[in-house]
Amino acid sequence: MHTKSIKELSKLLHKKTISCVELTKIFLERMEKYDSKLNSFITVTDELALIQAKNADKRIAENKTTPLTGIPIAHKDLFCTKDIKTSCGSKILDNFISPYEATMTNKLKQAGMILLGKTNMDEFAMGSSNENSFYGHVCNPWNLQNVPGGSSGGSAAAVAAYLTPVATGTDTGGSIRQPASYCNLTGIKPTYGRISRFGMVAFASSLDQAGPMATSAEDAAILLNHMSGFDVQDSTSMQEPVLDYTATLNNSLKGVTIGLPKEYFDENLTTGVAVKIDNVLTELERLGAKLKEITLPHSKLSAPAYYIIAPAECSSNLARFDGVRYGYRCKNPLDLEDLYARSRGEGFGDEVKRRIMVGTYALSSGYYDAYYLKAQKIRRLIADDFKRAYEDVDIILSPTTPTPSFAIGNSSQTPIEMYLNDIYTIPANLAGLPALSMPAGFTEGLPIGVQLIGNYFKEANLLNIAHQYQQVTDWHQQIPEGF
């Protein structure tokens, strides 16, 4: 039962073959049995889940349902959930109980979904390995000695181990797509502004975007239908009509032109990943797609630009965590300055401190023009590269990551080398474009993903290609041993 898709589970629930309460208990029992190996959850909401499941059974009996009614879900612990701890993986918010609900999580609650719990993550979404959490690192179900990717690693590990059918994540520079690649999932970062950011704790406001993580493109599409939409509470929310992303999943790929940026197939790409990407391209050609080499000349500047812009925005956003109104407060402060310094020093982890310092420096007097302003100009050049590319192609395809998952505690990687794990995912965030990672096979016994990048609000095109590919391959149906 736990390996069935959303569509299959929904049919069983509506036929009353299984009740919402029974289904919820199956996943809660799996979480209790397996999560000690993974550490994918920070908070388990078992009592709430059973209450919501009973209400979902009533809705089904009264025929007041959606395709998501009774389907369990887990939320990344970056989304505010009313009366439930929202920690962002940080000591500084370890005692924070949110007084309100994020718009996106509320949409899914109104659709009748069952909240199983809040998932582990890199602190304030800062990381590519899920080793930066106050609650300890998350393990990859495909190899417990390896990272699941970050920052949405808890969500990725939970879905990959079938502890939940689907989960939510956030993506600032690749934090949905990179863990999706490492854990053999389909994860999509929609167009910036497609999903409301209200109630999503901000890391870098101009880059952050929520999205679904699932085993298949079809499940991701169903979830995205209910997550998307304009929100008056979010000034960055876009007034674009919400499409039915499932309606075009079965469209033919004949005539679809896929661009292959030469800059993405470089020396950073391992041979094992490159071979799997070639296999994907062969399969897509068989399905009728056309391939065309393109160039995105400024893409190599994306990582340097990102690691100026994102830390600068995080420096501003995290200034609110000062030990005064909520969150962690140091003991016996000498004065106000000591309260601020010690609360933040004791409450934030090393990676968060590193990025705050970099961002504060980049925004400081005398350096703003040299760093932050120049990075924003590069951002525009990157967006213009994509704009020109979409005059000739419909979709852009690339690797999601240069390598498969790496070992936990990999001491050979410096912070800068760790940042380069996102080298292929960052450009889409800088340009605000939708991008998806889908399973592409295995190398060294570990899963890897292929990335699809679309033009603005063309999420349906990405999901269509991924779904068609998944109809002729079974990579997304593989189950990690022991789960």
Give the active site residue among 98, 129, 152, 175: 175
Alpha-helical (H) ranges within 390-458 are: 415-419, 426-431
- Write the pLDDT tens digit of every residue in 219-274: 999 999 999 999 999 999 999 999 999 999 999 999 999 999 999 998 888 999 99
Mean local confidence (pLDDT), 298-311: 95
pLDDT at 411: 56
Report the alpha-carbon distance of residue 214 to residue 45 in Å, rounded.
20
Q: Per this entry, what is the length of the chain? A: 483
Distance, CA of 33 to chain centre: 25
Report the alpha-carbon distance of residue 42 to residue 351 in Å, rounded.
19
pLDDT at 365: 85
Domains of the chain: 6-256+472-477 (3.90.1300.10)
Told to judge if 181 belongs to the known catalytic residues of this protein, a careful annotator would answer no
Told to judge if 377 belongs to the known catalytic residues of this protein, a careful annotator would answer no
Q: Which residues contact 483 (CB under 8 A, 6 or more apart)?
A: 34, 141, 160, 161, 162
Give the active site residue among 10, 19, 40, 76: 76
Task: Please state the pTM of the whole predicted model.
Answer: 0.96
- Write the pLDDT tens digit of every residue in 126-168: 999 999 999 999 999 999 999 999 999 999 999 999 999 999 9
Q: Which residues contact 371 (CB under 8 A, 6 or more apart)?
A: 308, 312, 361, 362
Give the active site residue among 90, 128, 151, 405: 151
| Nearest of 441, 446, 444 to residue 469 by alpha carbon | 441
Question: Residue 239: what residue type?
Answer: Q
Told to judge if 353 belongs to the known catalytic residues of this protein, a careful annotator would answer no
Residue 287 has pLDDT above 90, yes or no: yes
Residue 57 has pLDDT above 80, yes or no: yes
C-alpha dihedral (101, 107, 110, 114), degrees to nearest 10: -80
Report the alpha-carbon distance of residue 338 to residue 385 in Å, rounded.
48
- Write the pLDDT tens digit of every residue in 102-127: 999 999 999 999 999 999 999 999 99
Phi-psi region of 209 (alpha: psi -120 to 50; beta: other; left: phi over 0): beta
Residue 339 has pLDDT above 60, yes or no: yes
| Structure-block tokens of residue 204 | 């870098």
